Amino acid sequence: MVTATRRIAMSDLSRQKRLEAEVGTDGLSDRHTVGQAVEHYLDAMRIRQNGLRWTAFSRGVKLDSKTELSDIPEADREWTVMPEVSAGGR
The answer to whether the beta carbons of residues 29 and 21 sit under 8 Å apart is: no
pLDDT at 1: 46
pLDDT at 44: 93
pLDDT at 24: 86
pLDDT at 37: 95
Query: What fold, for 7-83?
Result: Ubiquitin-like (UB roll) (3.10.20)
The answer to whether the beta carbons of residues 5 and 21 sit under 8 Å apart is: no
Going from the C-alpha of 2 to that of each of 24, 43, 68, the distances in angstroms are 10, 26, 12
Using 50 as the pLDDT threshold, list the residues of the chain that sit under it: 1-4
- Tell me the pLDDT of the chain averaged across its residues: 87
